[in-house]
Amino acid sequence: MRSLKFLIPLVIALGIGWFLYAGLGNNPREIPSPLVGRTAPATPIALLNEPDRTWSPEQMKGKVWLLNVWGSWCSGCQVEHPVLLDLARQNVAPIVGLAWKDRPQASKDWLAKLGDPYVLNVSDQTGKAAIDWGVYGAPETFVIDKAGVIRDKHIGPLTPEVLAGRLVPLMRRLQAQ
């Protein structure tokens, strides 16, 4: 009976230690999204340059495209912006920009200063659309297929390596289907 007093806490401590050790192998940037494999949210979002009009992912059906969540206040967005400009020049897939929790004029000024890689920009000042998309923070990028299904989500600034190694090959496979 005495040995059980010591054995039970030891087993519990080893179990906790194993879970902690196993967690060290996880990449904190790879937060699983419950939306991957599901249809993109149909939330209508106001166009940045025409706030009286709205856009929804339904309008992109039949195309493989990216949704990039950004903000003029976001330092990571500034880091990835040249990568987005280069991707837009390559014309791999249309990129829709979702200006998240940003003042419309600040978004417009930022795009005018740094260049606009997006086929269109929508403005989510309240953050409601971002909640529907499961956004954790900016920047985030989603790959959506021709049927409107989210196929991948990248959290953090896009890099040439992420594009070349993962997202562009995925988009090309989706376009071939």
Average pLDDT over residues 150-163: 96
Does the pTM surpass 0.85? The reply is no
- For residue 1, the model assigns a pLDDT of 62
What distance in Å separates the CA atoms of residue 37 and residue 39, rounded to the nearest whole number?
7
Average predicted confidence (pLDDT) for the chain: 89
Residue 7 confidence (pLDDT) above 80: no
Tokens (6 digits) for 29:
């940037």
- Identify the bridge partners of residue 154 per DSSP, sorted by sequence position: 141
Return the CATH number of the domain spanning residue range 31-176: 3.40.30.10
How does strand 54-55 pair with strand 120-124?
A: unpaired
Domain residues of the chain, as ranges? Answer: 31-176
Is the pLDDT at 57 greater than 80, yes or no? yes
Report the range of poorest mean pLDDT among 10-14, 120-124, 157-161: 10-14
Per-residue pLDDT, averaged over 148-158, amounts to: 96
**Amino acid letter, residue 29:** R
% of the chain exceeding 70 in pLDDT = 81
The confidence score (pLDDT) of residue 160 equals 97
Residue whose entry in the numeric block shows the structure tokens 């496979």: 173
Q: List the strands of the sheet with 65-70, edge to edge.
A: 54-55, 45-47, 120-124, 95-100, 65-70, 140-144, 150-155
Q: pLDDT (tens digit, 9 = 90+) per residue, 9-38?
A: 666 666 676 656 665 655 555 555 667 879
What pLDDT sits at residue 10?
65
Burial 15-54 (b: 16+ CB within 10 A, else e): eeeeeeeeeeeeeeeeeebebeeeebbebebbebeeeeee
- Placement of tokens 């419950």 in the chain: 34
